Amino acid sequence: MNTASLEKLNLITLVGPPNSGKTTLFNKLSGKNYKTVNYPGSTVEYSTCKIQSKFGIEADVLDSPGIISLNPNSPDEEVSVNSLYNHPEFGSPHLVIATADASQISRHLLLAKQLIESDFNVIVAITMNDILAKRGYEVDENKLAEELGCGVIKVDGRTGTGIDKLISCVKPKLNPDEKDELKNPHKVFENIDKEKLLDLYREIERIEKIVIVPVKNITEPNLKKANEKLKILNPTLKYGSNRPDERTLNIDKLLLSRRWGLIFFFLIMAFTFTSIFWIADPFMKLVDELFGYLSTNASSILGQTWYGDLISDGIISGTGAVLVFLPQILILFLILGLLEDTGYLARGAMLIDKPLSKIGLNGKSFVPMLSGFACAIPAMLAARTISNRRERLLTIFIIPLMSCSARLPVYALLIAFLTPADKLWLGGIALALIYISSILGSLIVAAFINKFNKRIINASDTSSFILELPAYRAPKIKNVIRNSFENAKQYIYRAGPIILVLSMVIWFLTYFPNHSPEINTNGLSHEEIVQMVKAERLSTSYAADLGKFIQPVMSPLGMDWRIGVSLIAAFAAREVFVSSLAMIFKVTDSSDLQSSILLAMKNAVNEDTGKPLFTVSTIIGLIVFFIFAMQCLSTLAVSKKETGGWRIPMLQLVIFTSTAYILTLVTVNVLKFIGFS
């Protein structure tokens, strides 16, 4: 297509209430694949992309956090409102597309009315039309456009229905000659009093009664039957367009019941963590064999040289020791994606709102806390959706205690040491217990801080919890799979460079300065010579010197300098702990890397005591350490940004790491005392 023929425009901004289909529409217009979930807080910073050239428009389209009005109540809502009035790069948008859920039109038109009154150039995109159609009603676009005085188009961002019609409505509004007018500021929508707000809602209710009409092909008996059901479900509703989705109500009677709700919640979470072991196992073996094959062949081709050792032991084996756990991380993202797409996660927030309120939080903290199981960084950003400052800071404070995906390789290795290979279900139960422990630990910390919040978190506000529960919908499997692979790819991109660099650093520390030790080779086989060279090289290496320096700290834990070095490396990225062990114990000769690490751990001996280094007590102690320790420098940096200073990040580092050490010390020694040596 000739770009000269394209209309020229600065910016199209998408705005809308949470769960109104805004990001789905953004993906359809831009051709990108930004994550779309169905609970508030899924977007905490705006995203900008070029609109697809096939639409014949040269424009940037911007997706911003969901808002219900132009009066922001939280930091993420401020991002949306500020981008409307003065985007830092584009200024004010030339056109605003406001999304509104057809089944929630009485509430979602508030934002559209405010935008129109503020003199924005507005097109209203009506979404979720299929949900309204199931109730026997539809939105009359022409009547709504007449009432609002702007373009109104019904669209479905999931299937693409109505997109061409939306583009046809957009193009006439993109007049390049009007760009200069955009420099004039729009009217700032001032806070309105209660009476004016009620008048506005009365006006919206009047409009709704006019524009919501029965579906053209629905028969009168079916419509009458639907309204009779409505009276049974909720006698207070005046007409059928507003009635709740019947299927959703029936499901929620079970999943949100006082008796069964929490039981189903914990069963779903237990299934999630059991699946991480059970389903991922064959794929992990394939990845394990691949890196083992690459390492063995690299060593054979390059020989016993420093660069051969660097490539086979340092790069291939060090990286493979962590990427072998990628299938588990992928499955975690996949299951969470399915729960998001169906609408269940919003129910999870409702279920735990009451327990969280006991410790100074509310259901809005659920989304950031759950996001923390993937990564603490986006989880802290998601906390911007919490309007209450005290609750937001408290949520950010405890997020590092959520067991993120970076811990999963560590847990998987340590659990594999404790559980039989033929009983993977035990590993799933153990992993579920670890995650439950991390949640309980975070709740205990939150309760403690809430009691002494003036000393730790200097903020005090009152808040309430209101959350829109979306209708249950069948997940788009293609989108869920694509999002899962995208998240896994981001994990690799984020962790990969760190793992590669630290693997090379640890290789250097374990290889030098005595890279060619002299040993007595009489009567030894080639394999035995190689192992003795590596052992002698390691015992006189820089890593050994560093480890012996921190040995006094590790000895009370029943551990030696080798584990200490690996724990230090893990402060850059937790998953590096696994590759560090692989490097320090030189477990690169086998074609099965995970089995090699486990075998080396079982054969390792504490150099001070001569007893086995890895025992039940030390393994459980390490698990406890990783549950509580603050071992992510990137998380500290984001915490500083989100809290506005170094006070809270430094408290997180000191409190969590010292707590981890003390609890590990107690765990190891108590287990030894009762006989689990």
The least confident of 32-46, 376-390, 434-448, 516-530 is 32-46
- Return the residue matching tokens 């584990």: 563
Which residue segments constitute the domains of the chain, with CATH numbers given?
3-214 (3.40.50.300)
Q: How far apart, in whole angstroms, are the C-alpha atoms of residue 297 and residue 152? A: 64
- Angle (CA) 66-70-72 rounded to 5° is 70
If you average pLDDT over every residue of the chain, what do you get? 76
Segment holding 126, helix H or strand E: strand 122-127
* Neighbouring C-beta atoms of residue 235, cutoff 10 Å: 7
Give 455-491 pLDDT, tens digit per residue.
556 555 555 555 666 777 777 787 778 777 877 777 6
If we measure between CA atoms, which residue out of 135, 108, 338 comes closest to residue 249? 135
Give 268-304 pLDDT, tens digit per residue.
877 776 776 677 778 877 887 888 788 888 878 887 7
Give 537-569 pLDDT, tens digit per residue.
767 778 778 878 888 888 899 888 888 888 887
Read out DSSP for 325-352? THHHHHHHHHHHHHHHHHTHHHHHHHHH
Amino acid 668: pLDDT = 93
Amino acid 667: pLDDT = 93
Amino acid 466: pLDDT = 56
- Return the residue matching tokens 């699946």: 275
pTM of the model: 0.59
If we measure between CA atoms, which residue out of 289, 310, 302, 312 comes closest to residue 588? 312
The least confident of 113-117, 367-371, 516-520, 628-632 is 516-520
Read out DSSP for 485-554? HHHHHHHHHHHHHHHHHHHHHHHHHHH-S-SS-----TT--HHHHHHHHHHHHHHTSHHHHHHHHHHHHH
Between the alpha carbon of residue 508 and those of residues 305, 315, 514, 576, the distances in Å are 13, 11, 11, 15
Band the pLDDT of 670: cuts 50, 70, 90. very high
Which of 244-253, 350-359, 434-443 ranks highest by mean pLDDT?
Answer: 434-443
Give 226-236 pLDDT, tens digit per residue.
555 444 333 33
3-state secondary structure of 202: helix
**Is the separation of the CB atoms in 57 and 51 below 8 Å?**
yes
| Beta strand pairing call for 47-50 and 57-63 | antiparallel
Mean pLDDT of 643-651: 86
Peptide bond into 409 cis (omega under 30): no
Give 343-401 pLDDT, tens digit per residue.
787 777 777 777 777 777 777 777 678 777 777 776 776 676 676 778 888 888 988 99
Band the pLDDT of 643: cuts 50, 70, 90. confident
Q: Residue 378 has which token pair? A: 């986006």
Amino acid 1: pLDDT = 37
Asked if pLDDT for residue 7 goes beyond 80, the answer is no
- Angle (CA) 471-127-39 rounded to 5° is 45
Q: How far apart, in whole angstroms, are the C-alpha atoms of residue 325 and residue 599? A: 18
Q: How far apart, in whole angstroms, are the C-alpha atoms of residue 384 and residue 36? A: 17
51 secondary structure, DSSP code: P
Mean pLDDT of 235-263: 68
Mean pLDDT of 19-41: 69
Mean pLDDT of 256-263: 81
